[in-house]
C-alpha cells in the first residue's frame, strides 16, 4: 500500500490566499489496477487559474472548484512512473498528468482528463528537461500559442500589447509574437521585470504599469495604436487597451488576474468594440489541445538553442505550494512558478 502526501483546501480565501487555508494530509492510494500506473510526482504547477477554483463554485465552463477537505484534482504535474500495469507507460518513464499538489498518484491513462491536456503523457526528456513541460512546452506554451492563434496574430502584422508580460504565459507570448514579426510592447509591475522584458525577452518597448496612467504609458510606447492586445489582467488594463486599439483590432482574453481576488469590474468602455469594429476572443489553452504538438515543435528548438528566454520561480518541497501560490498572486514571482517535490 502506497501513501501520498496531498494538499487539501480547508477554507476558501476571502481575498488573499494565505497558508492556513490549506492542510497537508496523508492519503492512502488504491492498488494499481490493470491499465493504471503509479507515479511519483517530481514537479507540480502553480498557476493563477488555481485562484479561480478556491471558491464554492468556479466560473461556468472553467475547471471545477476544489471541494473542501479533498485532494486537489486537476493540477498539471510531472513525475516518474514507479509501477505500471498500462501498455506504453513503462516504469521509469517521465510523464505528465493532472493529479498535482501531492507526492504520488495512481493514474488511469484512459480516463478523460478534466483539462484536455493532462491525460497521462510520456515526455521526451531528450527534447527538454522535465520541468519545461510545466512551462514553455506545456500548458503555458499552449496558452500563449493558442491566444495568439485565436486572434490571427501568428500570421499578422502590427503592434501587440502584452500585459503581465513577465509572467509565465506573458513572456512566451512576447517571444512567439516577436518571432512572428509583430511589434511587441509589454507591461509588468516592477522595474526589474520591465528591465528583463527589454533586455532578455527583447520586446520593442516595456513599461511599469504602476509608474503612471496606463493610457499615457501606452501612448508613449505605441503612438501608432494597438492592433492586438493579449489580456492577462482584465480591469483597467482592458479598458486602456480598448481605448488604444486601432480599428479592426483584436483582443485575446486570456485571464484577468486583477479580478481574481476581488469583485470584478467590467470594462466601462466596451462600446468602443462596436465603434472600432474590435473582436474580443476569450479562450482557454486547454480548449485548443490540438495545437499542442504544433506549439511544441515550434518552441522546442528555440528552447534548446537558448533563443527562448525563460524564467522559473522554483519553490522547494511540496509543503511550499500554498506560499508559492500566494507569492504569485501578489506578483512576487517571475516566469513559471512551480514546486520541486
Q: Compute the least distance from the CB of residue 336 to its own copies, in Å.
A: 20
- Binding residue for its own copies, selected from 17, 117, 280, 325, defined by CB under 8 A: 280
- Binding residue for its own copies, selected from 188, 222, 254, 300, defined by CB under 8 A: 254
287 binds its own copies (CB under 8 A): yes
How far is Cα 255 from Cα 261, in angstroms, rounded to an integer?
Answer: 13
- Taking a C-beta distance cutoff of 8 angstroms, is the pair 268, 130 a contact? no
283 binds its own copies (CB under 8 A): yes
Among 1-9, 176-184, 213-221, 272-280, which window interacts with its own copies (CB under 8 A)?
272-280
266 binds its own copies (CB under 8 A): yes
- Binding residue for its own copies, selected from 62, 68, 157, 301, defined by CB under 8 A: 62
How would you classify the pairing of strands 183-188 and 159-162? parallel
57 binds its own copies (CB under 8 A): no
- Binding residue for its own copies, selected from 13, 79, 136, 234, defined by CB under 8 A: 234
- Binding residue for its own copies, selected from 102, 121, 284, 311, defined by CB under 8 A: 284
- Binding residue for its own copies, selected from 33, 125, 264, 330, defined by CB under 8 A: 264
Residue 32 or 65 with smaller CB distance to its own copies: 65
Burial 61-76 (b: 16+ CB within 10 A, else e): eebebbeeeebbbbbb
For 6, the 3-state DSSP assignment is strand
- Binding residue for its own copies, selected from 40, 127, 281, 298, defined by CB under 8 A: 281
275 binds its own copies (CB under 8 A): yes
265 binds its own copies (CB under 8 A): yes
162 binds its own copies (CB under 8 A): no
199 binds its own copies (CB under 8 A): no
Residue 129 or 225 with smaller CB distance to its own copies: 225
Q: Cα 23 from chain centroid?
A: 24
How far is Cα 267 from Cα 89, in angstroms, rounded to an integer?
Answer: 48
Give the number of residues in contact with its own copies, rule: CB under 8 A.
40
How would you classify the pairing of strands 37-46 and 336-340? antiparallel
Burial of 26 (0-12, 13-18, 19+ CB in 10 A): exposed
Burial of 79 (0-12, 13-18, 19+ CB in 10 A): buried
How far is Cα 275 from Cα 146, in angstroms, rounded to an integer?
Answer: 27
How far is Cα 211 from Cα 231, in angstroms, rounded to an integer?
Answer: 19
Binding region for its own copies (CB under 8 A) = 52, 58-62, 234, 238-239, 243, 247-248, 253-256, 259, 263-284, 287
Amino acid at each position: 500500500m502506497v501513501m501520498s502526501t496531498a494538499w487539501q483546501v480547508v477554507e476558501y480565501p476571502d481575498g488573499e490566499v494565505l497558508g492556513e487555508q490549506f492542510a497537508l494530509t496523508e492519503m492512502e492510494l488504491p492498488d494499481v489496477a490493470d491499465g493504471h500506473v503509479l507515479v511519483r510526482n517530481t514537479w507540480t504547477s502553480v498557476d493563477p487559474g488555481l485562484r479561480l477554483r478556491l471558491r464554492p463554485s468556479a466560473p461556468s465552463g472553467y475547471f471545477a472548484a476544489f471541494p473542501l477537505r479533498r485532494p486537489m484534482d486537476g493540477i498539471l504535474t510531472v513525475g516518474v512512473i514507479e509501477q505500471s500495469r498500462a501498455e506504453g507507460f513503462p516504469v521509469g518513464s517521465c510523464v505528465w498528468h493532472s493529479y498535482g499538489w501531492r507526492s504520488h498518484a495512481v493514474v488511469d491513462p484512459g480516463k478523460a482528463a478534466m483539462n484536455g491536456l493532462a491525460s497521462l503523457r510520456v515526455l521526451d526528456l531528450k527534447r527538454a528537461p522535465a520541468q519545461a513541460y510545466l512551462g514553455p512546452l506545456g500548458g503555458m506554451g499552449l496558452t500563449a500559442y493558442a491566444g495568439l492563434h485565436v486572434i490571427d496574430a501568428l500570421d499578422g502584422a502590427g503592434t501587440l500589447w502584452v500585459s503581465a508580460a513577465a509572467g509565465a504565459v506573458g513572456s512566451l507570448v512576447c517571444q512567439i509574437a516577436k518571432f512572428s514579426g509583430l511589434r511587441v510592447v509589454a507591461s509588468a509591475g516592477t522595474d526589474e521585470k520591465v528591465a528583463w522584458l527589454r533586455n532578455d525577452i527583447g520586446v520593442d518597448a516595456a513599461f511599469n504599469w504602476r509608474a503612471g496612467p496606463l493610457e499615457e504609458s501606452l501612448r508613449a510606447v505605441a503612438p501608432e495604436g494597438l492592433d492586438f492586445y493579449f489580456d492577462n489582467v482584465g480591469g483597467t488594463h482592458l479598458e486602456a487597451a480598448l481605448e488604444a486599439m486601432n480599428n479592426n483590432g483584436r483582443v485575446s482574453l486570456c485571464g484577468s488576474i486583477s479580478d481574481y481576488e476581488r469583485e470584478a469590474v467590467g470594462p466601462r468602455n466596451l462600446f468602443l468594440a462596436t465603434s472600432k469594429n474590435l473582436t474580443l476572443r476569450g479562450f482557454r489553452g486547454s480548449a485548443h489541445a490540438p495545437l499542442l504538438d504544433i506549439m511544441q515543435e515550434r518552441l522546442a528548438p528555440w528552447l534548446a538553442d537558448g533563443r527562448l528566454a525563460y524564467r522559473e520561480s522554483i519553490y522547494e518541497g511540496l509543503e511550499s505550494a500554498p506560499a508559492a501560490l500566494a507569492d504569485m498572486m501578489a506578483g512576487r514571482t517571475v516566469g513559471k512558478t512551480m514546486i520541486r517535490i
